[in-house]
Amino acid sequence: MIITTISILVGIVVGLRFKVFILVPTVGLATALVAANGIMLGDGIWRIAATMVIAATLLQLGYVGGSVLRLIIGVARGTDHGRASMPNSAGVFRSGQ
């Protein structure tokens, strides 16, 4: 239960901050940590494999949720994802009159 919660929360945080290419190293690290935890606890191979699959899946679902949340926040703020807008020449010309 703890691993599923942590996987979803990490996925949301990663989805809010990074692009999709971060998923490969994040899922790799998560599965390695889950495998090490299962080995230390003495779990069976099938339980470790199932936990790894669940953690990787929930991490990716959390990423999707975080990405959607980032989109909603961006639309609500009315920003252009942090890029500064430059005035066009027509806007500069009109303000100079």
Examine residue 10 and state whether it is found in any structural domain, yes or no.
Answer: no
Average pLDDT over all residues of the chain = 84
Q: How many domains are there within the chain?
A: 1
CB 63, CB 15: distance < 8 Å: yes
Judge whether residue 81 has pLDDT over 70: no
Q: Which domain holds residue 34?
A: 25-74
Examine residue 90 and state whether it is found in any structural domain, yes or no.
Answer: no
> How many Cβ atoms from other residues are within 10 Å of residue 25's Cβ?
9
Examine residue 15 and state whether it is found in any structural domain, yes or no.
Answer: no
Examine residue 5 and state whether it is found in any structural domain, yes or no.
Answer: no
More confident residue, 80 or 40: 40
- Cα–Cα dist 37/40, whole Å: 5
Examine residue 85 and state whether it is found in any structural domain, yes or no.
Answer: no
Confidence (pLDDT) at 65:
92
